[in-house]
Structure 1
Amino acid sequence: MDILEVMDWLSEQGCCAVFKADGERTPGTRWMVIVSGGVLGKDSVFRTDQPSPDACLQDLLDHLEAAGLSPFA
């Protein structure tokens, strides 16, 4: 599963999701994912800043698993 598939699943769950690459940031944090609302809860926000898209995806999947959620179910 890739980041776009996870973002599609999140949108189906009522979440807002942003996946961003920012070349103006330092190399260690050029990629960012922010997810809010939906199944995470009305006032819940998850954000991770990482050096790669894969690291962002892994952080997001870990967060979802800790919350008892999975796009693989």
Structure 2
Amino acid sequence: MDVVELMEWLAERGCSVVFKADGERGQGQRWMVIVSGGALGPEGLFRTDLSSAEACVEATLEHLASRQVSPFT
């Protein structure tokens, strides 16, 4: 699943999603994803800062699975 597919899937479930690349951060944790609301519930919030877009997608999918929310079920 790519980032656009994941963002669309989350938006269809009422989530707000921010996916950001920040060139000013250098080579480290250049990528960020924030997911809130919707399928995560009113208090649900997930954020991660990682070194690649793919790592952010994987971390988001893992978090969703831990909350019993998954595009694969």
Task: Tell me the TM-score range normalised by the shorter chain.
Answer: over 0.9
TM-score after normalising by structure 1: 0.95
Matched, 1:9 2:9: yes
Instruction: Kindly report structure 1 stretches of 4+ aligned residues shifted beyond 6 Å.
Output: none
**What letter corresponds to residue 66 of structure 1 in structure 2?**
S
Tell me which amino acid in the other structure corresponds to 2:43.
Answer: D
Q: Which residue of 2 aligns with 1:33?
A: 33
> What's the TM-score once normalised by structure 2's chain length?
0.95
Unaligned 5+ segments in structure 1 are: none
SS at match of 1:47: strand
The answer for the alignment partner of 1:52 in structure 2 is: 52
Q: Aligned-pair RMSD on alpha carbons?
A: 0.8
